[in-house]
Amino acid sequence: MSNLIQPVKVSILLAARNEEANIERCLKSLDALQFPKENLEICIGDDDSSDKTAEIIQAYIKEKPQFKYYKISQQTDGLKGKANVLAQLAHVTTGDFLFFCDADIAVPTGWITNMLPFFMENTGIVVGLTRMKKSRFFADFLSLEWLFTLTVMRFFSLFNIGITGLGNNMAVSRKAYDSVGGYEGIGFSIVEDYALFMAIVKNKFDFVQTYIPEIIAISEPVKTFKELTIQRKRWMHGIMQSPLVLRICLIISALLIPVIAVIAIWDPERSLRMLIQNYMLITAIVLVPVILLKQKDLWKAVFLFWFYLIGISVLMLIIHMLPGKTTWKERTY
């Protein structure tokens, strides 16, 4: 870890569009951050919301000078959606480090103080961890899916193989952000976190995939199957642009059962061994974050996670193959 001499100036960038159900929870978590307020600015970009998002934000941040509200109605050339909001916010920030989270996220109180030490001299980007808020049983599977994926990302990062960023829990140095020309230099992507991560890594900056419980952010889980399919169609844009290893993992998970069923016609014993071995491998991987990151409440879903992973992988592949554009935050891409 670095020997950064605090205090440094930190800017948090938060894009919000029609988040009246979630935004106050996020703001409360940002207000509770254990970091000197005189060295912190929280810049909120209201992406032309049509609900009560702006009203809730303005009421909450009143007499809180570290919070700054910006109504984003103009579009930067070549950008739209969240990337457009973040690009405009970056221009008004003054921090040495830019922290990113989403409006449906609650960050831990030590988020900044535990992320900053990972910045070494040439570190451009630090990726955090995310899980779902404790609620119904399905949310446990979503949490395990996030932690499973982040564990795989952590493994490859040890070999300096970058997979993606995490727009709801990520920090970049101002030097790295400016070196790629910001979001204007990168251009529009519906998966703006992946685009920024890859641009910074390709520009010869180091990255860190963190793996400590103190920086786990808590997200609101999707509430309906429709929301899930919309979310996964957007994610598939990022996955299909990601390194080959991630695409192969998804395709293998989606096609595992059909392939084993075909093998079973000629060799039932081998097909059964393959199923058992795959189940044990996936379960072992998902046990790692539950144990190392101390997420004890997820134990009850661990041994059923394999079935969920197979199902969600098939669903995502089908969603990607179906024709149609992606709708996100009431906008079509």
- 138 within domain boundaries: no
Using H for helix, E for strand and C for coil, what is the string for 93-154? CCCCEEEEEECCEECCCCHHHHHHHHCCCCEEEEECEEEECCCCHHHHHHHHHHHHHHHHHH
For residue 222, the one-letter residue type is: V
Output DSSP code: residue 324: S
Please check whether residues 238 and 209 belong to one and the same domain.
no
Please check whether residues 232 and 305 belong to one and the same domain.
yes
Evaluate whether 172 touches 196 at the Cβ level (below 8 Å).
yes
The domain of 273 spans 227-332
- 136 within domain boundaries: no
Summarised one tens digit per residue, pLDDT across range 299-323 is: 999 999 999 998 888 888 888 777 7
User: Which one of 201, 221, 241 terminates a domain?
Assistant: 221
Q: Specify whether the backbone of 221 is left (phi greater than 0), alpha (psi in -120 to 50) or beta.
A: beta
Please check whether residues 180 and 240 belong to one and the same domain.
no
In this structure, of 51-60, 110-119, 270-279, 298-307, the range with the lowest mean pLDDT score is: 270-279
Evaluate whether 87 touches 183 at the Cβ level (below 8 Å).
yes
| Token pair belonging to 184 | 């204007």
Please check whether residues 61 and 80 belong to one and the same domain.
yes
User: How many Cβ atoms from other residues are within 10 Å of residue 173's Cβ?
Assistant: 21
pTM: 0.89
Please check whether residues 212 and 239 belong to one and the same domain.
no
Average pLDDT, the chain: 89
Dist. CA 143–CA 141, nearest whole Å? 5
Please check whether residues 64 and 111 belong to one and the same domain.
yes
User: By percentage, how much of the chain surpasses pLDDT 90?
Assistant: 64
Please check whether residues 211 and 235 belong to one and the same domain.
no
| Token pair belonging to 329 | 């935050």
- 154 within domain boundaries: no
Summarised one tens digit per residue, pLDDT across range 37-73 is: 999 999 999 998 999 999 999 999 999 999 999 999 8
pLDDT score, position 275: 86
Q: Give the number of C-alpha atoms closer than 13 A to the C-alpha of residue 51, restricted to the C-beta side.
A: 13
User: Which one of 206, 221, 236 terminates a domain?
Assistant: 221
Please check whether residues 78 and 95 belong to one and the same domain.
yes
